[in-house]
């Protein structure tokens, strides 16, 4: 996957991270793209096949108050 379609989120382990994984899955399915999450130095990296899905995920992060940075 392309690096520019990734976000690093700083979510609390447990419920908040599980919620974000569910949202990432929902967004990926709606946009017919693949996604994955892995550990990063300062959080969790969520990667998507396209920028549209990444931006939709960023909006979800904004809505629930989770900080993130574009990679």
Expressed as residue numbers, the domain containing 56 is 3-70
CATH of the domain at 63: 3.30.70.2030
Q: How many CB atoms lie within 10 A of CB 3?
A: 9
The residues, any chain, with a CB within 8 Å of residue 60's CB and separated by 6 or more, are 20, 23, 27
Closest listed residue to residue 37, CA positions, set 29, 50, 25: 25
Question: pLDDT category, 71, cuts 50, 70, 90?
Answer: confident
pLDDT for 1 beyond 80:
no
Which 8-state DSSP code applies to residue 48? Answer: E
**Inter-residue contact 65 to 14 (CB < 8 Å):** no
- Could you give the number of structural domains in the chain? 1
* Tens-digit pLDDT profile for residues 3-55: 458 999 998 889 999 999 999 999 999 999 999 999 999 999 999 999 999 99
CA distance readout (Å), 28 to 22, 41, 42, 53: 10, 24, 23, 6
């Amino acid at each position: 996957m392309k690096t520019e379609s990734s976000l690093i989120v700083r979510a609390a382990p447990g419920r908040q991270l599980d919620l974000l994984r569910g949202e990432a899955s929902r967004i990926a399915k709606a946009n017919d793209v693949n996604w994955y999450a892995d550990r990063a130095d300062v959080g969790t990296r969520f990667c998507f096949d396209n920028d549209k899905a990444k931006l939709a995920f960023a909006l979800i992060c904004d809505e629930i108050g989770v900080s993130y940075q574009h990679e």
